[in-house]
Structure 1
Amino acid sequence: MIRARDIADGAVGTMDLARITANVHRRNRRTSLRADDLLVVLIGRIGETAVAGPEHHDWNVARSVAVVRFTLAGLNHGIHIWIRWWLGTPSARDLLRVGSAGAEHATLPLADLKQLPVSVPPRHLRERILHTMDLAQRKAALNMKIADRATELADAHFGRFAKGHTRGDVHRSATTVADVGQVIVGSPQAGALDGGQALAWASPREVLNNRTVHLDRTAGITWARGDAACAPGTLLVAPRPGEVRTVAVTLPVVPGRGMLAVRTGSEADRMWLLHELRARSEELVVTAQGEQARAMSRKAFSKFPLSWPPEDVRERFARVAAPLHGRALAALRENRVLQELVVSEMTEQPTNKR
């Protein structure tokens, strides 16, 4: 069963999915999924979308997610693609916020979603824009592969550099996380604060579901003093049963409750620590705590022993890894530009309300 929390950055996360019984599924056949169904978040990050793929056939959804099913004609004319992109435009977001006003937690009633007007241009313009969308989506998919391969190459190089500095080596027993970085505890999301400012806030779920090793945006904000934000390059560490995920942030961000942030003094240290923590994800589970190990223990994590080779080894690795991470980041930045291009194309054309 797909919940609102499982939908992030236009995709359905594959980790830690909920399960329902066959009887519950049979009682909710209307929301039994088919390929190309549009999933829309109704609670929290309202308007966030994903498209069900063949792998989601006959799955179901929670009440926090709406299922928009299209006719064969709608699919043939690309209406499903149009609506998905349109829900990300500023005008659509404004309408969604109006529909959710007054709720303790942002909530969009299903009836309001059904009545939401959609701006649709004349067919000849729509087909041209859909062609642009198709090109953008294909380029974005290629960019994601580039980012993934660049990270895999960096991981492979790390394995080569780490050889000889693994289990049984004196460096591992002598060096801990606290020796090489400043460990910071995450904080809960907060509302308006006197003397504070709105800052990007990263939830553990965003870290766990992030599709790459780089977190370049967040859905949430929190109010805090400016010095509460961790600088770009900080590592965020979040647990779930059986795994601990580590990402590097590319923007100032306040880490959420349940996870930790680690600041290092140099790029060489940051690069080595990032890949060391990634390589030892399963071992790091022992540093998690709480119900189903969903929070990080600062004390246990700080004492976690590392494989930490001499400085010249770490620097040589950074000279190889940093350009690979730079290439991955360039691909992600291009995807943001492509997204903005499509939204601009959609909003600057004459449209009809439907």
Structure 2
Amino acid sequence: MIRAADIQDGRLRGDEPRRIDPRVHEANRRSRLETGDVVVVLVGRVGEAALVEAEFHHWNASRTVAVIRTREPDEAAWLNLWLGSPAVRAWCERQATASTLQRTLSVTALRKLPVPIPPAGLRAHLLRAMRLLEEKAATNARITECAMQLSDAHFAREASDGTPWPERPLASLVHITAGTAPRPRPDHDGAMSEPGTAFVAPADILQSTSPHLYATERRLPRGKEGRVCAPGSLLVASREDGVRAVMNHVPAAIGRNVLALEPESVSDAHWLLHELRSRSAEMAATAQGSAGRELSRKAFAATAVSWPPQEVREQFARLAGRLRERARIAENESERLRELRGRLLDGFLSGTFPKGPLPDDQGVQPEGGLALSGPQGIS
């Protein structure tokens, strides 16, 4: 089953799928996915979209996701591109309703989204250019994934070399703080005011594709963030299937159900980050509540870890640090590609891309529409 959390950075992720009973799947045929559908987040990061690839054919969609079915593949690709533009994301934010927990975009509101429909020839020209950017971004994502896997593999080798290391409780290795910062409230246009301090909610950790956190979507105004975690801290959140940890690289205020672990050194931070990653499912026992999201600071602090000598930790940190730097280069390039994607789309809609007329260049229609199909997901 696809959930809102499975739609990230314009792609569907199926590495941690939730499963449903086949009878539930059969009873909810309207939300069954077809290759080429466009799925849109309705709860949380409203408006984020992705194309359904063959891998997800006949999966189902939860009620946190809208399913859009178009007549032609190019229409779906264009709609997915349009939904990913900053202007549309801002439109979705303005249409969303806020609650104490998260923002929600209704299917009724999404149906009213104006969609410009360019002629097929013009559209194909732009989509070819966008596919080149997406292919490069996919390569960068693979680089980041490989760097993370290599770090995990080297940690596993070091941790399993048979050396009997002493066990120490986490409380003796880090200072642990429970999050209390208030969740930011969006202003009138749905965007967070700038400047401010990065606000980290459990979703920022649980939905991160990297163990390193460089930015968040929401910020708290200066003076209202309370205690701020310094860069190099480990931020931890949990759900029923395991604990997730990231190392933050910006000052951050943490919200409820987030723990901040502040190690004594960078080498300690790298080692503990991978220790937590390797024991994700086991450490879910330190959480409370039916969904396993309420981390117990006391239980977490009492967790014992095998603690290697300083030279082992420092040697691992040097290797993990180099891999992180390579991954960050790829991530920075992908961020620039996303900016370029937005500029190309803006230029296309304003008539400055492509250079020179195409045979079927009739201009871009100011408004059009594509029908929503199967918007109801599974509860």
Could you say whether these structures have the same fold, taking a TM-score greater than 0.5 normalized by the shorter chain as the test?
yes
| AA aligned opposite 2:166 | H
Alignment of structure 1 residues 213-232 onto 2, 5 Å: 213-222=211-220, 225-226=224-225, 228-232=227-231
**In the aligned structure 2, how far is the partner of 1:170 from the partner of 1:91?**
54
Check conservation: 2:286, 2:299, Cα contact below 8 A: yes
Structure 2 counterpart of 1:179: 172
Q: CA deviation at 1:163?
A: 4.1
Structure 1 residues 177, 54: CA separation in 2 closer, same or farther (over 3 Å shift)?
Answer: same
Partner of 1:134: 131
1:89 Cα deviation after fit: 1.8
Q: Which residue of 2 aligns with 1:53?
A: 53
Give the alignment's TM-score, normalised by structure 2: 0.80
Amino acid of the structure 1 residue aligned with 2:178: V
Q: Which residue of 2 aligns with 1:236?
A: 235
Evaluate the alpha carbon distance shift between residue 17 and residue 102 of structure 1 in structure 2; reply closer, same or farther with a 3 A threshold: closer
Counterparts of 1:60-79 in structure 2, within 5 Å, are 60-71=60-71, 74-75=72-73, 78-79=74-75
Encode CA deviations 1:42-64: one digit per residue, 9 max, x unaligned: 23322011222333322332333
Equivalent position of 1:43 in the other structure: 43
- Distance, in Å, in 2 between the alignment partners of 1:263 and 1:241 is 24
SS for the counterpart of 1:182 is: strand
Structure 2 portions without partners, runs of 5+ = 187-193, 352-363, 369-379
CA, structure 1 residues 38+101, in 2 after alignment: closer, same or farther (shift >3 Å)?
same
Deviation larger for 79-88 or 212-221: 212-221
Q: Is the 8 A contact 2:196 2:219 kept in 1?
A: yes
Q: Which amino acid aligns with 2:158?
A: F
Read off the aligned partner of 1:268 and give its amino acid letter. Answer: S
What do the CA deviations read for 1:299-336 (whole angstroms, capped 9, x no partner)? 11112122222222211221221101111122122211
Q: Deviations over 1:139-164 (max 9, x none)?
A: 11111111111122222222333345
Deviates more, 1:266-275 or 1:286-295: 286-295
More helix by share: 1
1:231 to 1:91, Cα distance in 2 relative to 1, 3 A: same
Structure 1 vs Structure 2: percent identity of aligned residues?
A: 38
Q: How far apart, CA to CA, are the structure 2 residues paired with 1:255 and 1:10?
A: 26
Q: Give the letter for the 1:352 counterpart.
A: Q
Match of 1:94?
90
SS of 2:93's equivalent in the other structure is helix
1:190 and 2:188 are equivalent in the alignment: no
Summarize the alignment of residues 181-330 of structure 1 with structure 2, pairs less than 5 Å apart. 181-187=174-180, 189-191=182-184, 198-222=196-220, 225-226=224-225, 228-330=227-329
Rounded Cα–Cα distance in structure 1 between residues aligned with 2:260 and 2:180 = 11
**Which letter maps to 2:139?**
L
Structure 2 CA distance for aligned equivalents of residues 138 and 278 of structure 1 = 29
Q: State the match for 1:114 in structure 2.
A: 111
Q: Distance in 1 between matches of 2:184 and 2:203?
A: 20
SS of the aligned residue for 1:228 comes to coil
Q: Which amino acid aligns with 1:200?
A: A
Relative to structure 1, the CA distance from residue 81 to residue 229 in structure 2 (aligned partners, 3 Å threshold; closer, same or farther) is farther
Does structure 1 residue 84 correspond to structure 2 residue 72?
Answer: no
- Distance in 2 between residues matched to 1:121 and 1:323, nearest whole Å: 45
Distance (Å, rounded) in 2 between the aligned partners of 1:229 and 1:310:
30
Matched, 1:343 2:363: no
Following the alignment from structure 2 to structure 1, what is the Cα–Cα distance between the partners of residues 337 and 95? 28
Aligned equivalent of 2:375: none
Structure 1 pair 345–316 and aligned structure 2 pair: CA distance change class (3 A): same
Q: Quick check: 2:46–2:104 contact (8 Å CA) kept in 1? A: yes
Give the partner amino acid of 2:306: S
Whether contact under 8 Å (1:165, 1:308) holds in the other structure is no
1:165–1:171: 8 Å Cα contact kept in structure 2? no
Structure 1 residue 25: deviation in Å? 4.0
Summarize the Cα distance change of 1:164–1:97 in structure 2 as closer, same or farther, 3 Å threshold.
Answer: closer
Shift of 1:121: 4.4
**Counterpart residue identity of residue 116, structure 2:** S
Q: Which residue in 2 is equivalent to 1:19?
A: 20
SS of residue in 1 equivalent to 2:306: coil
If asked which structure has higher relative contact order (CA below 8 Å, sep 6+), I would say 2
Residues 36 and 289 of structure 1: is their aligned pair in 2 closer, same or farther, counting only changes over 3 Å? same
Moved more, 80-89 or 183-192: 183-192
